[in-house]
């Protein structure tokens, strides 16, 4: 007797498979215990699927620039505060608790060479479902992800001493901050880390509150600020504000847009707010690269920025500055 394949039989067969699968899931016999790990074949299959997915999506879901080699301190510090617990770091084994997960996080010094920069960017930005590998918590900060890719590329061959030199805090108070910001609050010469020393105390405090609440986007500082109590924030703001650094005096470099704004574009004078006695932060003495980067963050990377709701006055102001003026303004204001 032969059984002819008809549409009806095909559908009934599929329904039977689905019902069997549901029945199996309902029975509770499917082993979800992490303690038993995956079978080798399951492990291979899932990892292969993940790698294919990263390859495919990374070809169209990443910005043009995916790698920044120029600022390792903040990326290394963020790796230490957010990634090393699972992945381990040079000279630091991963937490045994995290390694008891299925799948355990790989030693990145051994695996990053399997991926292109574009794939690393995509994995770090979007994370990996069902594995514990988290997405980047600040979606609007591709600059941070780029710096992390630059750091990950250096991991193979990075010694424990190199890693310690990048991440260790100098002796003194606020060790949670000074690994990146330096004991003198001057940001260890890094162009992406602002000078906190001599900044207005009230601004430092409101920046910390904004990072902790997620109002100001940035995975690195959100990671540093999220566990702080109000008392700790106040103490940190006072500490850095009282160190010698930024100059809240008058501006040495006259610049037409900084002084008078651009009335035709409804751009106000920068110095009408960024002045002694006002709430806006001190810019004089700050790193020009940092000021320019902040202005570009407010503008956003997407083409249609005006469709998004402005979150604060500086976002509106930053979008009115002509792109060609940004670096010059940042340079003049930082003098
Ligand atoms: C809760 C644990 C956990 C944390 C925290 C974590 N990861 Fe992962 N990560 C994983 C796991 C598990 C995988 C393996 C995913 C897989 O095999 O499909 C992974 C994979 C990766 C990969 C792909 C490399 C490979 O061999 O598969 C990169 C790159 C990576 N993580 C970077 C990071 C970075 C950077 C951070 C910090 C911002 C981070 N991870 C934080 C668990 C974690
Ligand atoms: C892992 C590196 C790292 C650590 C640790 C860190 N910071 Fe930061 N901090 C940064 C970077 C990078 C920025 C620039 C803002 C951004 O990129 O989002 C920043 C910005 C800030 C700002 C905003 C200043 C401005 O001019 O806008 C404040 C305030 C601040 N940090 C305070 C702290 C305090 C207090 C601590 C300790 C609890 C701390 N940071 C720990 C890297 C770090
Ligand atoms: C209406 C008042 C106002 C005007 C006008 C203004 N700013 Fe601001 N600016 C602020 C405030 C308030 C902040 C703090 C925003 C925050 O809390 O993150 C700020 C922050 C900044 C920062 C970030 C500093 C840091 O350390 O993070 C830069 C850069 C900046 N302004 C540049 C400019 C420039 C350039 C102009 C002129 C084109 C300008 N601002 C005009 C109020 C103003």
CA distance 54 to 291: 34
Measured in angstroms, how far is the CA atom of residue 137 from the centroid of ligand 1?
14
What pLDDT shows up at residue 17? 95
Q: Which atom of ligand 2 is nearest to the CA of 195?
A: 26
Average pLDDT rounded to a whole number, residues 130-141:
92
Give the number of other CB atoms < 10 A from CB of residue 102. 17
For ligand 3, atom 2, name the residue with the nearest CA. 273
Distance of CA 142 to the CA centre of its chain: 7
CA distance 142 to 297: 10
Measured in angstroms, how far is the CA atom of residue 221 from the centroid of ligand 2?
5
CA distance 41 to 29: 19
User: Residues 6 or more apart from 117 whose CB is under 8 A from it?
Assistant: 66, 67, 149, 153
Q: Which atom of ligand 3 is nearest to the CA of 206?
A: 17
The response to whether residue 120 sits with its C-beta less than 6 Å from ligand 1 reads yes
Residue count of the chain: 335
In this predicted model, what pLDDT tens digit does every residue of 244-274 receive, in sequence order? 999 876 566 678 888 889 988 899 999 899 9
CA distance 242 to 14: 71
Question: Could you give phi then psi for residue 122, rounded to 5 degrees?
Answer: -65, -45
Average pLDDT rounded to a whole number, residues 149-178:
96
* Ligand lying closest to the C-alpha of residue 210: 3
Q: Do 203 and 279 form a contact (C-beta atoms < 8 A)?
A: yes
pLDDT mean across residues, the chain: 91
What pLDDT shows up at residue 251? 60
Q: Do 287 and 294 form a contact (C-beta atoms < 8 A)?
A: no
Average pLDDT rounded to a whole number, residues 209-227:
94
CA distance 52 to 220: 29
In this predicted model, what pLDDT tens digit does every residue of 27-53 receive, in sequence order? 999 888 888 888 899 999 999 999 999
**Ligand 3 proximal residues by C-beta, below 6 Å:** 194, 206, 216, 267-268, 270, 272-274, 279-281, 283, 286, 291, 294-295, 312-314, 317, 321, 329, 333
Distance of CA 265 to the CA centre of its chain: 32
In this predicted model, what pLDDT tens digit does every residue of 305-331 receive, in sequence order? 444 444 678 988 999 999 999 999 999
In this predicted model, what pLDDT tens digit does every residue of 60-74 receive, in sequence order? 999 999 999 988 999
C-alpha torsion 220→222→223→229, nearest 10:
140
Half-sphere exposure in the Cβ direction for 267 (13 Å, CA): 21
The response to whether residue 111 sits with its C-beta less than 6 Å from ligand 1 reads yes
Average pLDDT rounded to a whole number, residues 177-183:
97
Measured in angstroms, how far is the CA atom of residue 181 from the centroid of ligand 2?
7
* Ligand lying closest to the C-alpha of residue 42: 1
For ligand 1, atom 11, name the residue with the nearest CA. 105
Pocket test for ligand 2, best of 173, 181, 183, 191 (most atoms within 8 A of CB): 181
Pocket test for ligand 2, best of 77, 172, 174, 180 (most atoms within 8 A of CB): 180
Sign of CA dihedral 139, 144, 146, 152: negative
Average pLDDT rounded to a whole number, residues 168-175:
93
What pLDDT shows up at residue 326? 95
For ligand 3, atom 36, name the residue with the nearest CA. 270
CA distance 287 to 56: 38
């Amino acid at each position: 007797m032969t059984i002819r394949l008809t549409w009806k039989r095909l559908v009934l067969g599929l329904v039977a498979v689905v019902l069997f699968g549901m029945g199996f899931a309902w029975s509770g016999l499917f082993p979800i215990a992490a303690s038993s790990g995956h079978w080798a074949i399951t492990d291979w299959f899932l990892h292969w699927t993940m790698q294919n997915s990263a390859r495919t999506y990374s070809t169209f879901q990443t910005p043009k620039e995916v790698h920044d080699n120029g600022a390792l301190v903040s990326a290394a510090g963020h790796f230490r505060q957010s990634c090393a617990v699972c992945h381990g770091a040079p000279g630091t084994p991963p937490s045994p608790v995290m390694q008891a997960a299925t799948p355990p996080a790989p030693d990145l010094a051994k695996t990053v060479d399997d991926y292109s920069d574009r794939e690393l960017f995509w994995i770090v930005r979007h994370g990996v479902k069902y594995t514990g590998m988290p997405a980047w918590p600040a979606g609007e900060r591709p600059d941070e992800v780029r710096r992390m890719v630059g750091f990950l590329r250096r991991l193979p061959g990075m010694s424990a001493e190199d890693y310690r030199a990048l991440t260790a805090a100098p002796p003194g108070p606020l060790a949670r901050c000074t690994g990146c910001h330096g004991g003198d609050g001057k940001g260890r010469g890094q162009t992406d880390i602002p000078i906190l020393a001599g900044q207005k105390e009230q601004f430092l405090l409101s920046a910390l509150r904004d990072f902790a609440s997620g109002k100001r986007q940035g995975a690195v500082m959100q990671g540093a600020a999220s566990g702080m109590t109000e008392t700790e924030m106040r103490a940190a703001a006072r500490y850095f504000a009282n160190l010698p650094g930024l100059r809240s005096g008058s501006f040495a470099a006259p610049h037409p847009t900084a002084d008078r704004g651009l009335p035709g574009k409804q751009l106000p004078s920068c110095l009408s707010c960024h002045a002694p006695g006002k709430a806006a932060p001190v810019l004089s003495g700050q790193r020009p690269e940092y000021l320019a980067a902040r202005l570009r963050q407010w503008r956003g990377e997407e083409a249609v920025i005006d469709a998004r709701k402005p979150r604060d006055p500086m976002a509106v102001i930053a979008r009115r500055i002509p792109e060609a003026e940004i670096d010059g303004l940042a340079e003049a204001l930082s003098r």
